[in-house]
Structure 1
Amino acid sequence: MGAPRYIEILDQLRERCAGLAPGTKLASERALAEEFDVSTMTVRQSLARLADEGWVHRSQGSGTYVSRPTVTMGPSLTSYTEDMRRLGLEPSSKVLRFETIKPDLETVTRLELRPSERAIVLERLRFADGEPMCHEIGVFPSRLADALGAADLAGSVHEALAEWGVAPYSTFRRVRAVVAPERECELLGLPSPSPALEISDTFADALGQPFQHVRTRYRFDRYEVLSKIDRLPGAAR
């Protein structure tokens, strides 16, 4: 037995939206019903699911417009690549800079480097289905030079490092809103000036040894952070 008709239409409309610019108006429910040879109720069901997924937004009395799914970053430790794949989007990256540097004091402190130890900086522009999503600058201790040198830096660095026995077990994270500088607005396809969601992570392995400090600025219109917060035991009610 095949998938329900509204699911088939949903799949086709999702693929159609992926190829259209945000803000594009879709055909009316009646026109879509005629196109797919179904009732308007069936089309309405497909559009409702599409809206729940974030691919469209519906304006009463105006119509249905293409948008893009919002990526929810939850309390679990997941990578950019995992987040994109979960949404059915194809992740990719463009390497903007990859070099060995003399680390500043913040990098030395966060990565617990020795005074004379060098660091490796990796700057990337990251995409989902070819659309820029975030600008990322990460620094690593020089002991990971061989692992990073052998890695596909356009892919998942964490997956590559895991093959060398270095995997993220925990992170210290800071989230804040910033104004993206002109260069980042240009890279992300945003008008300048625009806000951005800045997330700084210091990742550590299972032994608590930090191995990456990364500052990522995400498009304000595509990301949100979700947290579950519990009251402390014994706190006054």
Structure 2
Amino acid sequence: MPREPAFSERGGAVSGPDIAVDRSSPVPLYFQVAEQFAAAIQRGDLAPGDRLDSELQLADRLGLSRPTVRQAIQHLVDKGLIVRRRGVGTQVVRGEVRRAVELTSLHDDLLRAGQRPSTSVLELATVPCPSAVATALDVPPGSEVWHLRRLRFSDGDPLAVMENWLPADLVRLSLDALQANGLYAILRAGGMRIRGAHQRIGARAASAAEAQMLGERRGAPLLTMTRTAYDDQGRYVEHGAHIYRGTRYSLEVTVAER
């Protein structure tokens, strides 16, 4: 397969990823191009702020039609990896946050991905435990629990809304600590060892309020996750209900044949 170089601009022109187009493949050409650009963004070969060449330049270098290149670019726009800006061109935003399905915190995942996490604490209070949460935490309904709701950002862009409940006698929480650290880091600093969790993953459409918080359109796809974590004594220590932007976040699972 011939490999055709594509280029981007970061201030001046710098080499971008090599794009290999296989015309004999049943995979559409636009998708081949888009997926290779997406992989380059995930690897960091194309960084936030890099500008892609114009449709005409890319079509000429790759030997493809402009409609094919335009479709590839639109696919990347739809995935939230690039944006079109008037007077600037087509520009890389950032890589999608990929999270393995394991017991980690979003704060830690963002740091490992080389992104800058920040948090806005929307709510922090001790409240009577709702019955559904009491069942998850195995505590009496109405017992005192921490209730916190946070908006998590990645490099300044909203990524997730996270709602959590914890037994009130478990740990002391503060706005400052929650703005500076992930919840699991706070629990670990308090001497707690989280050993596992029951987790459920789903998807749904964003409400108007959720869309406004996350910078999405109403009805945009959201990834949902509920989790109940337990410590090394088997005590349930945290129940969470989180939503993530479907354009910026994915979960990865490794499967094996039985």
**Distance in 2 between residues matched to 1:33 and 1:195, nearest whole Å:** 31
Matched, 1:81 2:107: yes
Residue aligning to 1:168: 194
* 146-155 or 215-224: bigger deviation: 146-155
CA spacing shift, 1:185–1:32, aligned 2, 3 Å: closer
Matched, 1:152 2:177: yes
1:204–1:210 Cα contact (<8 Å) kept = yes
Shift of 1:53: 2.7
Matched, 1:206 2:232: yes
TM-score w.r.t. the length of structure 2 is 0.68
Matched, 1:180 2:186: no
Shift of 1:43: 4.5
Unaligned 5+ segments in structure 1 are 1-27, 233-237
Runs of 4 or more off by more than 6 Å in structure 1?
A: 56-59
Matched letter for residue 170 of structure 1: G
CA spacing shift, 1:116–1:175, aligned 2, 3 Å: closer
**Distance in 1 between residues matched to 2:109 and 2:236, nearest whole Å:** 22
Unaligned 5+ segments in structure 2 are 1-5, 19-35, 60-68, 74-89
Matched, 1:122 2:145: no
Matched letter for residue 53 of structure 1: R
Shift of 1:50: 3.8
2:164–2:238 Cα contact (<8 Å) kept = yes
Q: Deviations over 1:162-213 (max 9, x none)?
A: 1211232111110001112111110000011212000111111111211110
Matched, 1:98 2:124: yes
SS at match of 2:199: strand
Provide the alpha-carbon RMSD of the alignment.
Answer: 3.0
Matched, 1:219 2:245: yes
CA spacing shift, 1:53–1:102, aligned 2, 3 Å: same
CA spacing shift, 1:69–1:109, aligned 2, 3 Å: same
Shift of 1:151: 6.3
In terms of fraction of residues, the more strand-rich structure is: 2
CA spacing shift, 1:43–1:73, aligned 2, 3 Å: closer
Residue aligning to 2:12: 35
**Distance in 2 between residues matched to 1:33 and 1:149, nearest whole Å:** 41
SS at match of 1:148: coil
Residue aligning to 1:15: none
SS at match of 1:147: coil
Shift of 1:34: 9.8
1:200–1:214 Cα contact (<8 Å) kept = yes
**Distance in 2 between residues matched to 1:149 and 1:33, nearest whole Å:** 41
Matched letter for residue 213 of structure 2: L
2:129–2:142 Cα contact (<8 Å) kept = no
TM-score w.r.t. the length of structure 1 is 0.73
Shift of 1:227: 1.2
Matched letter for residue 189 of structure 1: G
Shift of 1:67: 3.6
CA spacing shift, 1:34–1:152, aligned 2, 3 Å: closer
CA spacing shift, 1:176–1:139, aligned 2, 3 Å: same
CA spacing shift, 1:169–1:66, aligned 2, 3 Å: same
